[in-house]
Structure formats: structure tokens, C-alpha cells
């Protein structure tokens, strides 16, 4: 069985201001750097088979301390990059509501059928993310892999894996905190969600100490 430790990158200034970062390359804030070091403490205390990371700067900066502590060179994979929010990049909800009132209302109602103007279709994001996860499962069929990626990508990928209607991703998984852990087990075509949105300060240490779970049963 393969365990994917899905980590949202550390905080950026845009995250602190609640702006849609998307594919814009924003570096970590000082708080984000602290979160990356916390992740490295966890990574060094568990038996990781590999580290995979989004090519965006904030994700690579988050993974870097874990690479240093484990001696594992991260594999950068473009399938793990965040969704592109088009004209919404860099804006807050209030600014979107003012600039594109009708489009933003439609986005809030159904973020898949009515993704932000000029933005990437979340269905494509879900497919490329799950394609990446399946490759990891094939490559490391009995390992735990750290995957440093992004908020929306993790949420749409979880919907795709668990059979949740994709248009409900903002309702089913409202948000993932910076540096938080979500862990998935993949085995023989079955998927188990072991953890979701666990704060980095406590949950990462707990996860490192946890025993290996039993093989997943049916997803009920």
C-alpha cells in the first residue's frame, strides 16, 4: 500500500491577505518558512520513500528543508502545480466581487462549471493530480511519499479519488491550512482518507509515530 502525505505549502503573504495565488509564483512568508522547518522535523523522523513537489516557488521552498534533513532529492512534477485562477489571480474575494460580480457569484455557486474568468478548468486539475498520484503509487507500492502541493489541487484530487461530486469541492473540503497534512492510502484500486487538514504543529508529529494502517476496506 502507498501512503501519500499531502502537504499544502507554507504561508505566503498572499495567503495571509486571503488572495487567490493560483499559478502566480509567490515566495513563502516568514511564517511559511517556519512551517517548512516544522515539516522537515517530521520528514526526518519518518521513513519516507520519496518527496514529490509542485514546481511553484512556495512549494519548492516548503520542501527544501525536508530534502536537506532526509537527504532525498525531491522530484518536481508540473502536474502538482496549483490551478490557474485566470483574472482572479492576486485578488481577494471582495475585489473579485467588485470586478466580476456575476462571474464571481456563478463561481461561488458552481466553481467547476463556472470557474473564474480565464482560469483553468478544475476537472483538468483533478485529472492531472490523480494521474500523478497513480504514478507515485506504481513507483512506490509499499512506501510513504511526501507530496508538497496546493490547496485547491488537494481538494479537487480528493473529490476525484473519493467519488465526491467535483462541483462540491469547496463545500466538502472548505479549505486546507498552510502546512497542514492530509494523508491518503492507495491500495489495489481502493482509497482511504486517513487524515485531513491536520495542523502542522501537532499532527505531523502524531502522523510520524502512527502505526501503519490496515489495508483499506470499501469507502463507506
Q: What is the CATH number of the domain that holds 174?
A: 3.40.50.1240
Asked if the structure places residue 22 within a domain, the reply is yes
* CA-to-CA dists, residue 27 to 3, 161, 174, 211, angstroms: 28, 30, 24, 35
Which pLDDT value is given to residue 199?
A: 81
Which pLDDT value is given to residue 214?
A: 44
For residues 32 and 12, is the Cβ–Cβ distance under 8 A? yes
- Work out the widest C-alpha separation in the chain, in whole angstroms: 50
Count Cα atoms within 13 angstroms, Cβ side, for 145. Answer: 27
Asked if the structure places residue 166 within a domain, the reply is yes
Distance between CA 117 and CA 20 in Å, rounded? Answer: 13
In the chain, the number of structural domains is 1
User: What does the angle CA 123 – CA 197 – CA 44 come to, to the nearest 5 degrees?
Assistant: 110
Which pLDDT value is given to residue 34?
A: 95
Distance between CA 43 and CA 53 in Å, rounded? Answer: 14
Asked if the structure places residue 114 within a domain, the reply is no
> Per-residue confidence of the chain (220 residues) as pLDDT tens digits?
999 999 999 999 999 999 999 999 999 999 999 999 999 999 999 999 999 999 999 999 999 999 999 999 999 999 999 999 999 999 999 999 999 999 999 999 999 999 999 999 999 999 999 999 999 999 999 999 999 999 999 999 999 999 999 999 999 999 999 999 999 999 988 999 999 999 866 555 565 555 444 434 322 2
* CA-to-CA dists, residue 94 to 100, 170, 179, angstroms: 10, 17, 25
Asked if the structure places residue 115 within a domain, the reply is no
Q: Which of 183, 163, 184 is nearest to 172 (CA)?
A: 163
What is the grid cell recorded at 57? 516557488
Asked if the structure places residue 108 within a domain, the reply is no
Asked if the structure places residue 94 within a domain, the reply is no
Distance between CA 11 and CA 9 in Å, rounded? Answer: 7
Asked if the structure places residue 178 within a domain, the reply is yes
Domain boundaries, position 59:
2-86+121-209
- List all residues 6 or more positions away from 40 whose beta carbon is below 8 Å from its beta carbon: 65, 66, 68, 69, 70
Q: Which of 12, 17, 30 is nearest to 82 (CA)?
A: 12
Asked if the structure places residue 197 within a domain, the reply is yes
Q: Give the H/E segment covering residue 7.
A: strand 2-8
Q: Which residues pair with 191 in a beta bridge?
A: 186
The pTM score is: 0.91
Distance between CA 65 and CA 71 in Å, rounded? Answer: 10
Amino acid at each position: 500500500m502507498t501512503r501519500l502525505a499531502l502537504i499544502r505549502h507554507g504561508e505566503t503573504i498572499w495567503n495571509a491577505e486571503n488572495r487567490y495565488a493560483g499559478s502566480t509564483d509567490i515566495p513563502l512568508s516568514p511564517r511559511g518558512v517556519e512551517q517548512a522547518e516544522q515539516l522537515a522535523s517530521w520528514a526526518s523522523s519518518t521513513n519516507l520513500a520519496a518527496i514529490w513537489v509542485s514546481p511553484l516557488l512556495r512549494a519548492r521552498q516548503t520542501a527544501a528543508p525536508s530534502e536537506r534533513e532526509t537527504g532525498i532529492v525531491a522530484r518536481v512534477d508540473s502536474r502538482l502545480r496549483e490551478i490557474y485562477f485566470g483574472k482572479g489571480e492576486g485578488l481577494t474575494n471582495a475585489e473579485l466581487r467588485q470586478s466580476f460580480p456575476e462571474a464571481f457569484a456563478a463561481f461561488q455557486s458552481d466553481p467547476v462549471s463556472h470557474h473564474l474568468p480565464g482560469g483553468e478548468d478544475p476537472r483538468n486539475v483533478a485529472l492531472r493530480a490523480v494521474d500523478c498520484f497513480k504514478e507515485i503509487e506504481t513507483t512506490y507500492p509499499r512506501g510513504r511519499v511526501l507530496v508538497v502541493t496546493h490547496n485547491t489541487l488537494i481538494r479537487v484530487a480528493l473529490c476525484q479519488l473519493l467519488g465526491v461530486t467535483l462541483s462540491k469541492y469547496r463545500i466538502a473540503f472548505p479549505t486546507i491550512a498552510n502546512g497542514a497534512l492530509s494523508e491518503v492510502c492507495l491500495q489495489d484500486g481502493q482509497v482511504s482518507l486517513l487524515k485531513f487538514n491536520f495542523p502542522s504543529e501537532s499532527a505531523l508529529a502524531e502522523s510520524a509515530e502512527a502505526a501503519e494502517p490496515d489495508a483499506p476496506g470499501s469507502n463507506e
